[in-house]
Structure 1
Amino acid sequence: MKPSILIADDHPLVLKGLQDFLIEKDSNIAAVAKNGKEALSLIKALQPDIAILDIQMPFYTGLDIAKICKDENLPTKIALITFEKDQTIYNEAISLNVYGYILKEFALDEIENCIASMIEDKPYFSPELSDFIASNNDSKKIDVLTSTEKRILKGIAENKTAKEIGEELAISSRTVEKHKRNIRIRLEMDSKSTSIFLFAKNNYKFL
């Protein structure tokens, strides 16, 4: 069964373009919204599998909606679309468990891949954005990690659980957690789980 999708954007032409494109691809469009208030109301009422949201919208931004969905444990997976290449916004999106982050200029080229990735429970970020973020991070820090730690970091970036990473490396999930603690110490990170995930995502190409 195809996932139900909600689309929200306050720019009529962008909204229609995305809707027409996905209809042409035979996607299951559950609803469309022209602002954040409508989008949030529809998400709560319909609980679509996926919501594709413009970051900047009246009433509620895409990030506002992502935070509400996280706080209220709503099952809808959020993908954001934006023109902005902004490290701070990107980091906030990651901390809110956003599953997709697409630059509008590449939206029609990437939206299918994003949806397919989200269906498999894997985050999708525009390659152009990932390259930009990586270029603004100190990838040399990775050199202090062991080969096993690098493989664990790669698994973290791919949103894998400690159990899944452990099975790949033939070690226990408890050992994976010990390695994660060591990685945080080596990279001088705080204890928040998002810190190591952000670093892993931002430096994935170097792992």
Structure 2
Amino acid sequence: MNKNKSIITADDHPLLLKGLNDFLLEKGYNIVGCGENGREAYNLITKLKPDIAILDIQMPFMSGLEIAKKCKTNGIDTKIVLITIHKEKELYNKAQELNIFGYILKEFAIEEIENCIGMVSEGEPYFSQKIKDMLNSNSAEDEALNVLTPSEKKILKLIARDKTNKEIASLLFISYRTVEKHRSNIINKLKLEPKTNSLLSWAKEHHNKLQ
């Protein structure tokens, strides 16, 4: 692996920044500068033209995504690697649109950063498999929700609010047996184990997607 590539790092959390820099320096990487906010990071990139910039995605003055956008607009060839605690699909997609070279989660940064730098140094993008797996899992859940009818979704919302079958029947003006039938259909469609609390657990875990 080529460790001569020049690298700058930036993070607005001093301890995390120090931890990352210490780790990379110990491994023999060529750290040429570090910043504690987005403005410092962008200034370092324009001044030093490093091969790689490892940036926190959210920083004061300028986010990692905004820095990447400015670099792209101004024709700066520094390859951007984003480190983030965020797992939202929108941010991930935005990173891909901006031709960002690396995208890894902070919780797995130390175990993935060397792999990431190695691939990026060779001109290959590195998007963490961990976040891909999470997004694929979320996509599967979204697809599962799409097969539910509006009535089934209403019932799921009420289940998430700890409503009993009897209470759901009363609130929706349907019979107790109809609620039971809907519950059975939902369990089948979501491919849940027919355990007592499996549907309640699923409804509570995904209640924010049922809005």
Please report the TM-score for the alignment, with normalisation by the length of structure 2: 0.64
Once the two structures are superposed, what CA deviation does each residue of 1:51-80 show, in whole Å capped at 9, x if it has no partner? 000001000000000000111110100000
- From the CA coordinates, give the structure whose radius of gyration is larger: 2
Using the TM superposition, give the Cα deviation of residue 24 of structure 1 relative to its aligned residue in structure 2, in angstroms: 0.3
Alignment match, 1:74: 76
Identity score, percent? 57
SS at match of 2:99: coil
SS at match of 2:120: helix
List runs of 5+ in structure 2 lacking aligned partners. Answer: 141-211
Using the TM superposition, give the Cα deviation of residue 137 of structure 1 relative to its aligned residue in structure 2, in angstroms: 3.5
Please report the TM-score for the alignment, with normalisation by the length of structure 1: 0.65
Report 1:23-62 matches (<5 A). Answer: 23-62=25-64
Taking the aligned partners of 1:77 and 1:43, their CA distance within structure 2 comes to 10
Alignment match, 1:134: 136
Matched, 1:94 2:86: no
Using the TM superposition, give the Cα deviation of residue 29 of structure 1 relative to its aligned residue in structure 2, in angstroms: 0.3
SS at match of 1:52: strand
In structure 2, which of residues 97, 103, 106 is the aligned counterpart of residue 104 of structure 1?
106
Using the TM superposition, give the Cα deviation of residue 94 of structure 1 relative to its aligned residue in structure 2, in angstroms: 0.3
Taking the aligned partners of 1:122 and 1:28, their CA distance within structure 2 comes to 19
Using the TM superposition, give the Cα deviation of residue 135 of structure 1 relative to its aligned residue in structure 2, in angstroms: 2.3
Number of residue pairs aligned between Structure 1 and Structure 2:
139
Taking the aligned partners of 1:86 and 1:127, their CA distance within structure 2 comes to 15
Using the TM superposition, give the Cα deviation of residue 128 of structure 1 relative to its aligned residue in structure 2, in angstroms: 1.0
Taking the aligned partners of 1:101 and 1:50, their CA distance within structure 2 comes to 13
Alignment match, 1:121: 123
Alignment match, 1:171: none
Alignment match, 1:143: none
Taking the aligned partners of 1:124 and 1:134, their CA distance within structure 2 comes to 17
Using the TM superposition, give the Cα deviation of residue 136 of structure 1 relative to its aligned residue in structure 2, in angstroms: 3.2
Matched, 1:11 2:2: no
SS at match of 1:101: strand
Q: What code does the residue aligned with 1:132 have? A: M
* CA root-mean-square deviation: 1.3
Taking the aligned partners of 1:52 and 1:134, their CA distance within structure 2 comes to 25
Once the two structures are superposed, what CA deviation does each residue of 1:56-113 show, in whole Å capped at 9, x if it has no partner? 1000000000000111110100000011111000000000000000100011111000
Taking the aligned partners of 1:120 and 1:86, their CA distance within structure 2 comes to 27
